Amino acid sequence: MPTPPPPSIWGALLGACVVHRDINLGEIACRNILNLDPTHDGAYVLMSNLYAKAGKWEEVGRLRKVMKDERLKKETGRSSMEVKGVVHEFLVGDASHSFSGRIYEKLEEMTARLRAVGYAPNRTQLLQNVEDEATKDHALNLHSEKLAIAFGLFTIKPPVPIRINKNLRICEDCHSFAKLTSEVYEREILIRDRYRFHHFKEGSCSCGEFW
């Protein structure tokens, strides 16, 4: 008798559904994950991402209620990196780092420079139903991997790659941001997220847009 796919396989499929906005297949993948592991918070989060991208805010709210009723909490996104033997960790919207001022200044400079060559924030990545576009863009710029990349640009000298560990799946906006940064700033960026390894170089990623 064939062995049924584990949650990790269904999770990879659900992640692909988020990228390609396939709600029907995503619901099937999510259902199979929860049948195997009813406390799998990642399945709820990815499915919420998929509904949010489609503008289905009632479904997003429904999943949030289920998570609240089941006492499941979304894991806080965090990115970490080692510089000169010291591990630096960044949370979403982190302002606790001793270099926070410089990090946010660098991030503003990066965003302006990337916008000049075509970068546009992917506002579908937000799980909040926010109408103001400036507010959406600001929220996206607070993601932990962007803070880590900005920090790495002024603390790690080329040709040494910028290496980052992310505890959750990297979102599409941060993925695009990292790709373009690798091209514009001529830096190699390596990000290990929950599901796979991403090697950004010269504007492309080793994952081939599948993660």
Tens digits of per-residue pLDDT, 114-142?
999 999 887 766 666 555 555 555 667 78
The answer to pTM > 0.85 is: no
Asked if residue 90 and residue 181 are part of one domain, the reply reads yes
Asked if residue 168 and residue 132 are part of one domain, the reply reads yes
Burial class (CB within 10 angstroms; exposed 0-12, middle 13-18, buried 19+) of 149: buried
Asked if residue 87 and residue 45 are part of one domain, the reply reads no
Asked if residue 160 and residue 143 are part of one domain, the reply reads yes
Give the residue from 92, 197, 187 showing the smallest Cα distance to 146: 92
Asked if residue 192 and residue 113 are part of one domain, the reply reads yes
- Mean pLDDT within 79-88: 97
Number of structural domains (the chain) is 2
Distance CA 211, CA 144 (A): 18
Q: Would residue 107 count as lying in a domain?
A: yes
Q: Which domain holds residue 16?
A: 7-69
Distance CA 127, CA 12 (A): 20
pLDDT at 1 over 50: no
Distance CA 168, CA 99 (A): 24
Asked if residue 149 and residue 61 are part of one domain, the reply reads no
Asked if residue 112 and residue 62 are part of one domain, the reply reads no
Asked if residue 125 and residue 38 are part of one domain, the reply reads no
Edge-first strand listing for the sheet containing 162-166: 86-91, 78-83, 162-166, 189-192, 197-201, 204-205
Asked if residue 105 and residue 16 are part of one domain, the reply reads no
Asked if residue 110 and residue 196 are part of one domain, the reply reads yes
